[in-house]
């Protein structure tokens, strides 16, 4: 249907173009005739003048002798020129009539053509024949696609994020005002006594799960938790208020004490497996970052860390093997705490 309409439109446009051509031709003809005719006429008149001049001279020299004859010739010339003049006028008139006819035709056809609907400025841009502008057009199309894609992903992300009730961003757009009450500042500035109290309760909870937690404050206000897990690993967790700020994991035969008996929270383990776990633990500390509920965050973080108690003895949940790249499953799922190899978790 649409196509047919388009076809009709194109036909009309073609017709119009032909008519315009015809009109142009007619107008051109008129001008040509006009210029030819006038020049002819002018020539005639000059000739006539010349003859007139000559005849006047003749007249002065021989008045009576050629007077009557001359009048006849002049009269014939005049008639001829008048005839020519008329002919020119006729052709002109005919041409002008054709033109007006053509023009009214064109007007008639033109009025039936609908105006072309332009979608956006981009369409106009694509009509621009200048080369450097057409490059811009393709780039614009590209960016348009990207914007579309981004919009699509953003929509998906919103649906996914909406499922998670624990919001990290304390923007009123994303969090309800109820959540905002326990803001980040509160999580940072917690008196040591409160931290001690919380940790003490956690120590009791996790003792049965093979997790020994000891608390110390060698660096001033920051609390340092030293975790020893089931004869598997040792970890140090530095808290700022109730927020996890630094994590380091080492083997049981390694120590967090430097040579001068100071606390050393910076040096990495010499074993690849614990270096990897440190990376994962740091990532997890971001995952469990919830300034609105810092106590819950620490609790679930330690629970997640407890999942490493079977570090050497459990196979990967996906591939069923113990070793991958000569490393045991070093990653634990955040929800299920199932063991995965670094490369198997995707």
Partner 1 sequence: MGVSCVFSYPVPEGRSGAQVVDILQKQVETMGGSKTGTFYVDCETYQSVMLNPPKTLHILHNSEYPASCFAILDSGATLVADTLFIALMSNLKNIYQAWKGAKIESKGNRFQLADFILKIGSVSLAGSFKGILLEVEYCPCIVASECWAMLKELLQSLIGNIAESPPSALKKKKWMKSTPQQPQCCSTWTISTTLGKLPP
Binding site for partner 1 (CB under 8 A): 231-232, 251-253, 271-274, 312-313, 315, 321-323, 325-328
Q: Least distance from C-beta 122 to partner 1, angstroms?
A: 55
Using the minimum distance from each CB to partner 1, give the nearer residue, 55 or 226.
226
Q: Least distance from C-beta 330 to partner 1, angstroms?
A: 11
- Residues 178 and 176: their CA atoms lie apart, in Å, by 5
> If we measure between CA atoms, which residue out of 229, 224, 228 comes closest to residue 196?
224
Strands 233-240 and 211-216: unpaired
Q: Least distance from C-beta 279 to partner 1, angstroms?
A: 15
For 332, how many CA atoms within 13 A lie in the half-sphere containing its CB? Answer: 25
- Residues 320 and 305: their CA atoms lie apart, in Å, by 21
Using the minimum distance from each CB to partner 1, give the nearer residue, 241 or 339.
339
Exposed, middle or buried by CB within 10 Å (0-12, 13-18, 19+), for 54?
exposed
Q: Least distance from C-beta 252 to partner 1, angstroms?
A: 6
Measured in whole angstroms, how far is the alpha carbon of residue 192 from the centre of its chain?
50
- How many CB atoms are located within 10 Å of the residue 237 CB? 23
Q: Least distance from C-beta 254 to partner 1, angstroms?
A: 9
- How many CB atoms are located within 10 Å of the residue 206 CB? 19
Radius of gyration of the chain measured on its C-alpha atoms: 50
Using the minimum distance from each CB to partner 1, give the nearer residue, 103 or 322.
322
Q: Least distance from C-beta 162 to partner 1, angstroms?
A: 41
Using the minimum distance from each CB to partner 1, give the nearer residue, 129 or 320.
320
Using the minimum distance from each CB to partner 1, give the nearer residue, 41 or 322.
322
Using the minimum distance from each CB to partner 1, give the nearer residue, 258 or 313.
313
Q: Least distance from C-beta 315 to partner 1, angstroms?
A: 7
> If we measure between CA atoms, which residue out of 245, 221, 248 comes closest to residue 236?
248
- Residues 81 and 151: their CA atoms lie apart, in Å, by 82
Exposed, middle or buried by CB within 10 Å (0-12, 13-18, 19+), for 341?
buried
DSSP for 128-141, written as a single string: ---HHHHHHHHHHH
Using the minimum distance from each CB to partner 1, give the nearer residue, 182 or 315.
315
Using the minimum distance from each CB to partner 1, give the nearer residue, 106 or 232.
232
Q: Least distance from C-beta 238 to partner 1, angstroms?
A: 23
Strands 223-229 and 211-216: antiparallel
């Amino acid at each position: 249907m649409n196509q047919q309409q388009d076809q009709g439109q194109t036909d009309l446009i073609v017709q119009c173009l032909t008519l315009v051509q015809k009109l142009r031709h007619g107008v051109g003809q008129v001008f040509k005739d006009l210029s030819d005719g006038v020049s002819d006429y002018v020539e005639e008149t000059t000739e006539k003048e010349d003859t007139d001049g000559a005849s006047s001279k003749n007249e002065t020299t021989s008045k009576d002798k050629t007077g009557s004859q001359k009048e006849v010739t002049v009269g014939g010339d005049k008639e001829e020129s008048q005839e020519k003049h008329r002919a020119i006028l006729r052709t002109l008139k005919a041409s002008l009539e054709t033109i007006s006819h053509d023009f009214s035709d064109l007007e008639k056809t033109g009025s039936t053509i609908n105006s072309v609907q332009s979608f956006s400025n981009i369409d106009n841009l694509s009509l621009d024949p200048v080369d450097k502008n057409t490059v811009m057009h393709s780039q614009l199309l590209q960016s348009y696609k990207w914007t579309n894609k981004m919009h699509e992903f953003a929509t998906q992300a919103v649906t996914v994020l909406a499922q998670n009730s624990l919001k990290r961003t304390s923007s009123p757009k994303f969090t309800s005002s109820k959540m905002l009450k326990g803001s980040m500042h509160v999580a940072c500035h917690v008196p040591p006594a409160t931290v001690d109290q919380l940790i003490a309760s956690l120590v009791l909870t996790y003792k049965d799960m093979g997790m020994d937690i000891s608390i110390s404050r060698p660096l001033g206000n920051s609390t340092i938790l030293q975790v020893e897990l089931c004869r598997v690993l040792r970890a140090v967790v530095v808290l700022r208020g109730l927020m996890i700020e630094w994590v380091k994991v080492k083997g049981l035969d390694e120590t967090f004490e430097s040579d001068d008996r100071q606390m050393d929270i910076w040096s990495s383990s010499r074993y690849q497996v614990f270096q990897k776990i440190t990376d994962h633990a740091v990532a997890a500390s971001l995952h469990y970052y919830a300034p609105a509920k810092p106590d819950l965050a620490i609790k679930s973080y330690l629970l997640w860390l407890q999942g490493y108690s079977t570090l050497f003895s459990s196979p990967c949940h996906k591939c069923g093997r113990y070793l991958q790249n000569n490393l045991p499953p070093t990653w634990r799922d955040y929800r299920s705490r199932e063991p995965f190899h670094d490369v198997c978790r995707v």
